[in-house]
Structure 1
């Protein structure tokens, strides 16, 4: 049982310290059309869950028995090849039944090209540069012939870098014979790419005779690979198909022809092709970034800034994964190490590029890499960094949750309102718009409004103007109970701002916030605030004020049109009440005759009364009681007016001269009229002072000597 368990464990990979995951390549043991002798799986290390790729070869599978020598040669050579752009081997295992080669996490190039969007031309050049570099080190420093360069032997890492694998035919030129190449035509990946003419004509026996030119077998296959990549992966089966170089970059085409030269003596080696390309077609921003990225830690500040300048425009050329796994991690590392004791220029430039490249990241990668950098940056006391955060905020704020903004960013951001730099204060006001909907109710309606109220008094008119604009745009988020008062107060204040754009912004903000005001508020507060702007010194303000005023008036009219009309019975009831009041007030009016004489005296005219009551006055000697129980004052039809009435300008029974001598703050003297009989009233009525009419005077001598007692305290009781 133990033996069976160990055997099964070996077959399933449970005996190695790695977890075998999904299969991404099926070898010829299970698929005869495959170009690989390996089953390739995604895996993880059991100890730390590190991502990796596992190559598996089944030694006991009859379908793969003829490839055993090739698989073991790959195991031996790949384990010893620790060279740039060569597939990095982490572990190797061999049992009686299976061979495992564990490498860094990669995907086959063929799979990437088939399942993803087409790579850019610059991305292809970047990959070709890396494969050429790998061949140069294998041929020169390694002293070996790879022999199996094709799209089937190339893999792409998570960072978008190209890696050369497929070492089944690898041979050391100095110590090994070339016997393994006798099996070359059995290898599917070798057959998938056109071989050089000398090998086709003479086979493996030609290689020992070529001496140092033997490595040009690799350069010929490199030329075939380049041609196929730029021609949409179309396989080359004959050298005559490579004459058309129109799809290859112009500065590279002539050199690719030299790689495909049929004469081995004239043909470019990988070293020659690389050396030529470094001053020509390999001199691209992406390749330059790749070469200098690992050395940026050792550069001076001016060199770092020069390097960062080369990053402009490469975001569209980067291969998949390059930004996330290669570029950003290095930039973030440098941002954390950067010394900002001088002016912080390098750090702000690093932050700029971190924010620039981050939108292409997936959510998980963004949260892991970029969010901690942004949150930390808000705590730094560096104006260049803060300015970069504020101006770039719309790019990244949507990637943050409401909690992250309100709890980790807002409290640091609002310190910018108090900064001594006007530029920081202005950008802080502008930064409110993207984050307003992510703030808590207290932060929005309390903390933020206090700072905006302060900004409205800023010495810089641009800041005052932007404050009004900001408030108008976030008005919909404010508490609906306090919103009308806040908006009217703020906009009214800005309407008095000496800066014309601030006044224009206030009027336009009022117009845009019309839906937040009830018709009652529009009538009582808004119109009175807008009206003075109709006569503003600026024609632009007047124009916008007129438009806003008309909008509010139309809203008020629409609201008034929805109010109910008075019902007929209501109108009748109100008319009766009005008539009743008029009847009760009749006792306090003068007769038509007296009023006519007074009117003639002052040059006016009174229209005749509608009925027979003309020239009649109330009888003061005869008390009368109204229907309501209030006793009416007697008519004064028998009251004789002195002939001098018509000759004087004013006369209401008051001594005008005496009144004018008394201080204005003291009450005027009472005029007592004594009737021949005491007037009995059931309710005291306060005396009403009649205003003086200029030019009219009544002499104090009355021919009717009446003594009328008036209860002055009775007004309060009567009303």
Structure 2
């Protein structure tokens, strides 16, 4: 075998490879049959090989017959004659001829445990009679018709072969040279077996072949034919066919029915299978209405048709109908029925690679058929190469995404993306597909928007990290604003399914603000899903909070050289909003005021109003008056924190911090009268510091404080005095960098506490602005400072921090005065 293959490839240039041999059961033994495959296309074929070996008996006669048979194959072209493909001849007389893929009928009958199907026999005898009629009409005699010269194609068609003895009717006498040795004895007519060639030439051209056709009819129905005596047993034949059988086997050659007239017999005309075959053969000549009527009836008949007929004859016809758009969904349903008839290998080779790939690439196919293709894509794609998926299938989907005239097609294409997602290249998946999904998320059809979100959530594990960070949160946040309830529910469920891909920052700042609004959604499904996501996010953020606390404690222990530190005190000091400098200044003022008040006023009482406002409560001890602060224990713990503020005159010493600057904000009543309306940093500075929100109003719950308007703005010291209580005497010392004015003391009223609100603001000589240490992480002072720059120039808090110039502040005080 290897020798022959090398010989064909190098010397003869035969374009087919020889595979396994095929048993022919031909007594002539002229050709050796092999399965062959085209080197160019891979299509199967049947290879006829004649070996010119000197050891073969009757070499010259058989070589002449082989050349005659090859010449007849080339010249006789008919649908019912074995189709010639190519051939080569060697200088030594070796011949290789390739014909269409087929199997000798004798081989099928010998290997089949049961008889052939009735429809297959009807169509086979019909086609052989047509081929004989073609020869007889041309004045030719076949002369060697038997089961070994009839070939059956994969489509179920019977083709006439064995053309070595084909001669002109007028030259029938030449058959005597070799016909008797080549034709099967059971198929020889009486005049043929007796050698009366003159009567053959004088009779009708069809006489010899009509007898052989009657013998073939008996052979296929009975299953075997070994002797002419068996022809008298007609029990195996169908009764409607007996009349034709008897006329073909008439002993008088002149009375025999012509073989070419057999198709006109009522038995064959009544066959629905023959009618179906004839319609398929001539479907190109049928009108649109006839084709549509035929396609509508075909699905119901598919289960009763032979497998080979459905696979190799109906399927090409269906493919042609699909490509032309004439078959509709009926053609595709017939295609899907052929899947159950074929093995996995045959389905991949015959249906998928030969037809299905072309269907997806054809832009002229009806949209309804493309919807069916996308809905059944999982059946085809597993048999396709990655190159076909990324080029043909994906490009077809991209075109479907942009087809605005077919919503059903867009929706089917979106849902079928999941079938090929694991086969797509990185560019197609993370770039091209995501750009299409971005447009599909704003599609006019709500169902398409919903399915796009669902599909994107399922694709998240297959996307690259860059694509996930760029696409997921933005896409799902867009879906949360969709007016279609199911689209919103799909967005929330997608967020829940992809929680692992979001950072805690994205959860807190991007996703949660939008999800929380859906807790009061009109759809119950949306609300339920929103509560689930919020609970999931809260759990994850809580774990992150605990991790941050442990990290802070570890950092504190390392910075203290391993010494133990009270974690509550540390956390309380870290939540002072970056106002350690204020605490130091307040401590200095309280200390000075307490000393001067002890000499100016020996009273140890305090009013209830002072207690409510958190003013220091004077007490008397053996060593003199002391100041006790009315505040909780937590505040007392936080007030003992040491500071290293350059504004603090007593930096490094332990001092008591007034309640106004402790880690616990003041009560609302204590601040409501101290903050003017034209200042944007009143209680809002305390409540909104670090949450990234803008100015709030009564509508969202942050503007329910009764902030009274004042006729003049308060400066730094006014705000200090209003919080600390009225001093009984002028302070003897002030923090570094601040000087008092004589006008301030003259403006103090003697009418009690109410005179504190009429004090003129002190003049402040502020040093040059300096860099302020960044506050503790998570306290939000950056966003607060950003909002501070946008507020008016009368910002007392920023003036104390040195963030504004004194020029604008001086103008404000002069106007107030």
Q: Taking structure 1 as the reference length, what is the TM-score of the superposition?
A: 0.64
Q: Distance in 1 between matches of 2:155 and 2:125?
A: 16
Partner residue in 2 for 1:272: 262
The one of 149, 159, 163 equivalent to 1:153 is 149
Residue segments in structure 2 that go unaligned for 5+ positions in a row: 595-603, 630-639, 645-649, 658-668, 678-706, 741-750, 768-798, 804-817
Partner residue in 1 for 2:689: none
Task: Report which stretch shifted further, 487-496 or 40-49.
Answer: 40-49
Shift of residue 450, structure 1, vs aligned partner: 4.0
Partner residue in 1 for 2:608: 597
- For the structure 1 residues 575 and 459, does the alpha-carbon distance in structure 2 shift closer, same or farther, using more than 3 Å as the test? closer
Q: Distance in 2 between matches of 1:560 and 1:652?
A: 33
The answer on 1:108 being equivalent to 2:103 is: yes
Partner residue in 1 for 2:127: 130
- For the structure 1 residues 393 and 677, does the alpha-carbon distance in structure 2 shift closer, same or farther, using more than 3 Å as the test? closer
1:628-643 superposed matches below 5 A: 629-630=650-651
Partner residue in 2 for 1:699: 753
Task: Report which stretch shifted further, 64-73 or 458-467.
Answer: 64-73
The answer on 1:39 being equivalent to 2:32 is: yes
Q: Distance in 1 between matches of 2:62 and 2:162?
A: 14
1:160-171 superposed matches below 5 A: 161-167=157-163
Partner residue in 2 for 1:506: 491
- For the structure 1 residues 261 and 521, does the alpha-carbon distance in structure 2 shift closer, same or farther, using more than 3 Å as the test? farther
Partner residue in 2 for 1:538: 523
Partner residue in 1 for 2:792: none
- For the structure 1 residues 468 and 388, does the alpha-carbon distance in structure 2 shift closer, same or farther, using more than 3 Å as the test? same
- For the structure 1 residues 98 and 46, does the alpha-carbon distance in structure 2 shift closer, same or farther, using more than 3 Å as the test? farther
Shift of residue 206, structure 1, vs aligned partner: 8.8
The answer on 1:454 being equivalent to 2:502 is: no
- For the structure 1 residues 513 and 129, does the alpha-carbon distance in structure 2 shift closer, same or farther, using more than 3 Å as the test? farther
Residues 468 and 506, structure 1, Cα contact 8 Å, conserved in 2? yes
**Structure 1 residue matching 2:269: 3-state secondary structure:** coil
Shift of residue 418, structure 1, vs aligned partner: 4.9
Q: Distance in 2 between matches of 1:680 and 1:46?
A: 104
Residues 377 and 419, structure 2, Cα contact 8 Å, conserved in 1? yes
- For the structure 1 residues 508 and 70, does the alpha-carbon distance in structure 2 shift closer, same or farther, using more than 3 Å as the test? same
Residues 651 and 699, structure 1, Cα contact 8 Å, conserved in 2? no
Partner residue in 2 for 1:617: 627
- For the structure 1 residues 87 and 651, does the alpha-carbon distance in structure 2 shift closer, same or farther, using more than 3 Å as the test? closer
Shift of residue 452, structure 1, vs aligned partner: 2.8
1:672-683 superposed matches below 5 A: 673=727, 675=729, 678-679=732-733, 681-682=735-736
Shift of residue 486, structure 1, vs aligned partner: 2.7
The one of 710, 733, 738 equivalent to 1:662 is 710
Shift of residue 176, structure 1, vs aligned partner: 2.2
Partner residue in 2 for 1:572: 565
Shift of residue 40, structure 1, vs aligned partner: 3.7
Residues 500 and 538, structure 1, Cα contact 8 Å, conserved in 2? yes
Shift of residue 204, structure 1, vs aligned partner: 3.7
Q: Distance in 1 between matches of 2:530 and 2:573?
A: 47
Residues 75 and 101, structure 1, Cα contact 8 Å, conserved in 2? no
Residues 413 and 428, structure 1, Cα contact 8 Å, conserved in 2? yes
Shift of residue 413, structure 1, vs aligned partner: 5.1
1:158-307 superposed matches below 5 A: 161-167=157-163, 176-177=172-173, 180=176, 184=180, 186-187=181-182, 190=184, 195=187, 203-204=193-194, 214-227=208-221, 239=230, 253-255=238-240, 264-265=249-250, 270=259, 271-272=261-262, 275-281=265-271, 283=273, 287-288=277-278, 290-293=280-283, 296=284, 298-306=285-293
Partner residue in 1 for 2:801: 716
Q: Distance in 2 between matches of 1:384 and 1:65?
A: 62
Q: Distance in 1 between matches of 2:157 and 2:739?
A: 105
The one of 438, 459, 476 equivalent to 1:474 is 459
Shift of residue 165, structure 1, vs aligned partner: 1.5
Residues 308 and 350, structure 1, Cα contact 8 Å, conserved in 2? yes
- For the structure 1 residues 363 and 674, does the alpha-carbon distance in structure 2 shift closer, same or farther, using more than 3 Å as the test? farther
Residues 85 and 100, structure 2, Cα contact 8 Å, conserved in 1? no
Q: Distance in 1 between matches of 2:70 and 2:387?
A: 54
1:62-95 superposed Cα distances (whole Å, 9 cap, x missing partner) = 4456974994796399467554412245799999
- For the structure 1 residues 274 and 147, does the alpha-carbon distance in structure 2 shift closer, same or farther, using more than 3 Å as the test? farther
Task: Report which stretch shifted further, 417-426 or 266-275.
Answer: 266-275
Shift of residue 678, structure 1, vs aligned partner: 1.6
**Structure 2 residue matching 1:617: 3-state secondary structure:** strand
**Structure 1 residue matching 2:454: 3-state secondary structure:** helix
Shift of residue 134, structure 1, vs aligned partner: 2.5
Aligned length: 645
- For the structure 1 residues 127 and 264, does the alpha-carbon distance in structure 2 shift closer, same or farther, using more than 3 Å as the test? closer
Residues 258 and 268, structure 1, Cα contact 8 Å, conserved in 2? no
Shift of residue 275, structure 1, vs aligned partner: 3.5
1:268-320 superposed Cα distances (whole Å, 9 cap, x missing partner) = 87543663354333535762454225xx1x44444454565576575995766
Residues 422 and 460, structure 1, Cα contact 8 Å, conserved in 2? no
Q: Distance in 1 between matches of 2:63 and 2:459?
A: 73
Q: Distance in 2 between matches of 1:651 and 1:26?
A: 106
